Amino acid sequence: MIAAAETSPVTTRAVRLDSRHLATLPAAIRVPAYDRNRLEAGIVHLGIGAFHRAHQAVYIDDLLHKRFGPWGITGISLRQATVREALEPQDGLYTVVSRERARADYRVIGSVKSVLVATENPEAVLRCLTAPATRVVTITVTEKGYCFATDGRLDSNHPEIKHDLAAPRAPTSTIGFLVEALRRIRASGKAAPTIVSCDNLPSNGSTLRRTLIDFASLHADGLAAWIEGSVAVPSTMVDRIVPAATEADRAEVKSALAVEDRGTVVGEPFSQWVVENGTGEGFPDLSEVGVELVPDVAPYERMKLRMLNGCHSSIAYLGQLAGYEFVADALDDPNLRRFLERMMAEEIAPTLTEFSPQRLTAYGAQLLRRFDNRAIRHRTWQIAMDGSQKLPQRLLGTIEDRLRNNAPVARVTLAIAAWMRFLGGKDDRGGSIVISDPRARELTGWAEGRQDDGAIAANFVERSGIFSPDLQRSDGFRHELVAAIALLRRVGAREALMQPTYGGA
């Protein structure tokens, strides 16, 4: 007789992607062709989310294939252990899926050596940042990760900044980690690494540099002056649409590779990285792998922030109100598509005077094709997150430039009104919207439906600190905004877009 315990089913674990299984992957899958065992970690990345792994880490992987060097990446998760838990059992390997229409391309990236979690061991993070091998520090922490106030300077009252000033050896913020690392590097006499912001901020290098100096200046030890004179912080522009990966994406990769990959990221084929001259010693020559090195990145970032990101935010807020879950679904609405075409051509492009009309027209057409990529399931809600941090550079700058030239701003203003309606927490059918914004409690109170349209506009424009003094003083903008809020309340986003002023034929 066989005991019951002996007849229990045996469970087997799925085989995970790792170094041992690279040679077993299908021949069509591109894998690292360099010796990862010899790879030295010369780059530290703060904020190792999906965008970094689908963008900068891919460029570094390209570089390692062309010219092997000390460009391995140590990724730092500042809050959660999710990425570390996904990549550590996989020896840092993960798959990037590039999708366009019916085509999918699978590629295993090997540039990430390891991942640390800052909340678990801040000292280990500081050791990586100050290691002699570290030549470059890159950053993707989103706008809110810079802890700046509405004037673009460091918010010394931010809870994380206050903590890091009181406990500099156990920091929690990006700025706190960087300044403490720079303090140690200065004391050691070593050269500072190049620090590269890859976030969607205007003049992101200048912004980061200013916040570092602001933080350091709160200590009377000369560190601020040393940072100003010794640390290279170039501005950059980055571009690739990278939606959040789903279980379906991971299942697809498992089928294609015949191993499980819990670190899968998904993106469109298009990718762009522009870096301003002024990188420090030891920075790799990324022009070898398609990175554009330019004397002034500002025109490129302004074009991208206003046209791509501005249109993305417009799609997100109007789409959320109208019930469109994905960007490509929203583009199926002919009125929304016309709205975007006209907003880009008639309101945004005229503010981008550094580029020819022909280039801007071609760029706008390319953006619409990218938005219309049904293989990329980019949720409007994901784009709509943290609007209070994003809209000044994505939409409000366009309005300010247009008003200075007494030019119409109806379409961009409708997008701002849609954001305010979105913050009310209900779509046009009465369904609930989950708001994710660092100022959600304050802003949703101003957007509640029981307030009249003029009061909603006044609260946001006058009290939020998001709108510039020029916009606060503009009666024309205020009138346009109140009218747009009223229209969205009365007929909803879909019908509003039917109006000839916005998108209707």
The 10s digit of each residue's pLDDT in 403-447 is 999 999 999 999 999 999 999 999 999 999 999 999 999 999 999
Q: Do 128 and 275 share a domain, yes or no?
A: yes
Q: Do 116 and 199 share a domain, yes or no?
A: yes
Q: Do 238 and 340 share a domain, yes or no?
A: no
Q: Do 193 and 304 share a domain, yes or no?
A: no
Whether 306 contacts 398, CB under 8 Å: yes
Question: Residue 354 to residues 182, 236, 412, 496: CA-CA distances in angstroms?
Answer: 36, 17, 21, 33
Half-sphere exposure at residue 488, Cβ-oriented, CA atoms within 13 angstroms? 35
Who's near 105: CB < 8 A, 6+ residues apart? 97, 98, 99, 269
Q: How far is CA 130 from the centre of its chain?
A: 26
Q: In the prediction, which pLDDT does 5 show?
A: 35
Q: Do 129 and 245 share a domain, yes or no?
A: yes
Q: In the prediction, which pLDDT does 8 show?
A: 37
Nearest to 492 by CA among 327, 370, 320: 320
**Which residues partner with 238 through β-bridges?**
273
Q: Is the pLDDT of residue 137 over 90?
A: yes
pTM of the model: 0.86
- The residue ranges of DSSP E strands in 229-369, in sequence order, are 236-239, 265-267, 272-276, 292-294
Q: In the prediction, which pLDDT does 282 show?
A: 84
Residue 112, phi then psi, degrees to nearest 5:
-85, 120
* Of residues 373 and 281, more confidently modeled: 373
- Asked, for residue 346, whether it belongs to a domain, the answer is yes
Whether 149 contacts 60, CB under 8 Å: no
* Gyration radius of the chain's alpha carbons: 24
How confident is the model over 81-125, as pLDDT tens digits? 999 999 999 999 999 999 998 899 999 999 999 999 999 999 999
Sort strands 41-46 and 72-77 into parallel, antiparallel or unpaired: parallel
- Asked, for residue 119, whether it belongs to a domain, the answer is yes
Q: Do 257 and 329 share a domain, yes or no?
A: no
Q: What is the mean pLDDT of residues 467-486?
A: 96
Mean pLDDT across the chain: 93
Query: What's the 3-state SS for 212-254?
Result: HHHHHCCCCCCHHHHHHHHCCCCCEEEECCCCCCCHHHHHHHH
Range of the domain at 198: 19-292
- Which CATH number covers residue 237? 3.40.50.720
Question: How is residue 218 written in tokens?
Answer: 């709160």
Q: Which amino acid is at 360?
A: L
- Give dist(CA 381, CA 313) in Å, integer: 10
Q: Do 366 and 240 share a domain, yes or no?
A: no
Number of domains in the chain: 2
Residue 136, phi then psi, degrees to nearest 5:
-140, 140
Q: Do 24 and 144 share a domain, yes or no?
A: yes
Q: Looking at 292, 312, 331, which one is the last position of a domain?
A: 292
Q: Do 213 and 355 share a domain, yes or no?
A: no
